[in-house]
Structure 1
């Protein structure tokens, strides 16, 4: 892993800080994680292999990411400010889910490049994964699915908050 890899991983993990402190749900705040994952994809993604069982790998990692994202969104507390803007605040569960997803990908990358390459290569060969480009695409899809899953749930729940009374909604 390079210094850039660590910085990108840290930036994605640190997105949880404004979520914990609480943030207004503006278009900018909601789309920032999507933009950061897209930037990471632009930096890392060189190909999108579809041979062997690569697509099944993408589906599996995408589902894991989506589950983490939906759970994160479902455990985010939403309320309406006096000006009608929805406020979102991640509690312990939402923050832990966010960090778990981001850290799992960073941990996998670290392990794969610091002693686990033989195991990843063996698993890939045994399961018809075409190589490191497929793993890169899978990890990026997992991150994107997590971000989009959280975004979708928070956005849907925010619509309920803005159409209701200014009381708190959520966990």
Structure 2
């Protein structure tokens, strides 16, 4: 992993800080995680192979990302301020799920660069995965699914709030 790789991974993981502090649900706060993942995709994604079993790999990582994102969104506390703007705050469970999802990708990359390459190559060969480009695409799809599903759940739950409603999901 290069210094840039560490910085990108750290930035994605550290997106949990505003979630823990709590954020007003505005277009800007909705777009920040999407832009961060899109920037990572622009940096890393060189190709999107679809041969062998690459597509099932993508489906699996999309599902994992979606489950993590839905769980993050479902365990985020929501309220509406006096001015009517929704406020979302991640508790311990939501924050942990975010960190697990984002850090697992960094951990996979670190493992691949530090002793795991042979195991990954063997697994890829045995399961007809075309190689590093497929793994890169799969992990980026996982991140995107996590971000979009968390956002969708929080936004859907936000629309159910009335000005006086306070959702008390303790995480």
* TM superposition shift of 1:166: 1.9
User: Matched residue of 1:116: which SS?
Assistant: helix
Number of equivalent positions: 169
Aligned residues of 2:61 and 2:139 also touching (Cα < 8 A): yes
Unpaired runs of 5+ in structure 2?
none
Contact map agreement 1:74 1:170 (CA 8 A) in 2? no
Between the aligned partners of 1:23 and 1:64, the Cα distance in structure 2 is 25
SS at match of 1:88: strand
For 1:51, the equivalent position in structure 2 comes to: 51
| CA positional deviation for 1:169 | 1.3
Residue 131 of structure 2 corresponds to residue 131 of structure 1: yes
The answer for the alignment partner of 2:106 in structure 1 is 106
Q: CA–CA distance in 2 between the matches of 1:79 and 1:48? A: 40
CA change 1:156–1:117 in 2 (3 A) is same
Once the two structures are superposed, the pairs formed by residues 24-35 of structure 1 within 5 Å of their partners are 24-35=24-35
Deviations along 1:106-146, one digit per CA (max 9) or x if unpaired, are: 00000011110000000000000000000000000000000
1:151-162 equivalences in 2 (<5 Å): 151-161=151-161
Q: 1:170 offset after TM fit, Å?
A: 4.5
Normalised by the size of structure 1, how large is the TM-score?
A: 0.97
Deviations 1:144-166 (A, max 9, x none): 000001010001001011xx242
Work out the CA distance in 2 between the residues paired with 1:170 and 1:9: 31
